[in-house]
Amino acid sequence: MLENFLNLVAAPDSFNAAIMAQPLWLQTWVGWMVTVNVIGGLLFIKRPEAKWVLLAMLGAIIAMNGLFFAFGYQRILGLAHVIFWTPLLIYLWRRRAQWELSTLAGKWLAVLFTTNLVSLIIDYADVARYLMGERL
């Protein structure tokens, strides 16, 4: 079982196929989140916030692949964002005085925070729905 999980994390083709089978708006949203978190994090890697964003994103990706392996494409996948992005957003919110919205990095942080907050609202709802028995 561990070997199957490691293979999935190393080459998550079936997870990517599940995303690509979703409606275009959801594919676009996932692409946006990856862009804002990963590309933005790499662009601003010298900032401490970017390092935490990349670490949270890595954790969420690994956790989401593990959840996908265990449950398939179900609402429980949102748990990965709940676990890793909730503390990230608390951290970012506490550092909002350093965002300097007049700079590109500050604008990125504001967009990132908003994007991940919207995602978390959806993810908390999905996890709650899963726990109440709604699987897909």
Residue 136's pLDDT is: 76
What residues have CB less than 8 Å from 127, skipping those under 6 apart? 75, 76, 78, 79, 82
Q: Are 117 and 85 in contact (CB under 8 A)?
A: no
- Give the total number of structural domains in the chain: 1
Query: What's the longest Cα–Cα distance across the chain?
Result: 50
42 within domain boundaries: yes
Residue 3's pLDDT is: 54
Q: Average pLDDT, whole number, for the chain?
A: 91
Query: Where in the sequence is the domain holding 18, given as residue range(s)?
Result: 2-131
136 within domain boundaries: no
Is residue 118 within a helix (H) or strand (E), and if so which, with residue range?
A: helix 104-131
What pTM was estimated for this model as a whole? 0.86
Residue 12's pLDDT is: 53
